[in-house]
Homo-oligomer: A and B are copies of this chain.
Amino acid sequence: MERHLYQAHPVLDHGLVRVIDYMGDDSAITQAARVSYGRGTKSVSNDEGLIRYLMRHWHSTPFEMCEVKFHVKLPVFVARQWIRHRTANVNEYSARYSILDREFYIPAPEQLAAQSTVNNQGRGEVLQGDEAARVLDLLREDAMRSYDHYEAMLSQDGQQGLARELARMNLPANVYTQWYWKVDLHNLFHFLRLRADAHAQYEIRAYAEAMCGIVRDWVPLGLFRIRGLPPGRQCSFPRKASRLLRRRLAGETVTAEKSGMSKGEWREFEAVWG
């Protein structure tokens, strides 16, 4: 994690994610759990087993003992989705005080997708040929024109100059903003689970995936809370149990020995699935 400090990970065409500061790691999670459960944690022989136990049993408070602060540069429409995660601290660049830069997100051609025909909120096939070219031209031209007019309204050359807090309203939602975003590990996992999911909009998923890469180096044991995602949305169903069920569905008779599960995991699995 020390290697990640201040290092910018590029995302989309002009965005970035970088770690500004962090507190705690895998051992901070288990340290907090051992405070809570006292002698009760002695029977769990190692940190990995304890972390798996905590996750299986939805003990989220030990994960809240780790904290991380990111610097993120992102398009406004992504920021609007992101900010819905309320349990975090944010300092955003203020366009009331300061002037935004001329930077806009323009999708790469392979991301220029049609509306899905089966899913109201999804993407379908990638646009081709003339239609793709027309869309890119419109996005680029409107962005440039609106920024030209933003500058023209602000200008104090031979005129008073419109207030910044008003002029900004002319800028489209693909303009880049930036912020500091600080969050604890439990809430970061929740964010990543929703935003690294295949159903999330590609543009925010690109940020979530860059952050997953960072978190893997920070709390390698904690991470399988995310890694464990089966395809689809059953995100909280433990991965081992999911694999075991698939083996059973395929006709295999899986015993405790061949399950790859610890004793505790097997006992809990059996209690549910027999």
Contacts and interface: CB of A to CB of B under 8 A. Distances in A.
A160 B246 CA distance: 38
Interface of A: 21-24, 28, 32-33, 35-41, 43, 56-58, 61-62, 64-65, 67, 69, 71, 75-77, 80, 83-84, 86-87, 89-94, 96-99, 105, 107, 111-116, 120-125, 127, 131, 134-135, 138-139, 142, 145-146, 149, 152-154, 156, 159-166, 168-174, 178-180, 182, 184, 194, 199, 201, 230-234, 236-237, 241, 245-246, 248-249, 268, 271-273
A272 B232 contact: yes
A152 B172 contact: no
Nearest to A248: B249
A90 B54 CA distance: 15
A140 to B, nearest CB: 10
Contacts of A237: 234, 236-237
Nearest to A152: B138
A32 to B, nearest CB: 4
A168 B178 contact: no
B170 A139 contact: yes
A80 to B, nearest CB: 7
A59 to B, nearest CB: 9
A22 B32 CA distance: 15
11 contacts: A21-B28, A35-B91, A35-B93, A37-B120, A38-B99, A56-B233, A65-B180, A67-B182, A98-B120, A112-B162, A125-B160
Given A69-B65, A139-B169, A142-B145, A160 B91 contact: no
A170 B156 CA distance: 27
Contact of A89 (B83, B184, B245): B184
Contacts of A38: 93-94, 97-99
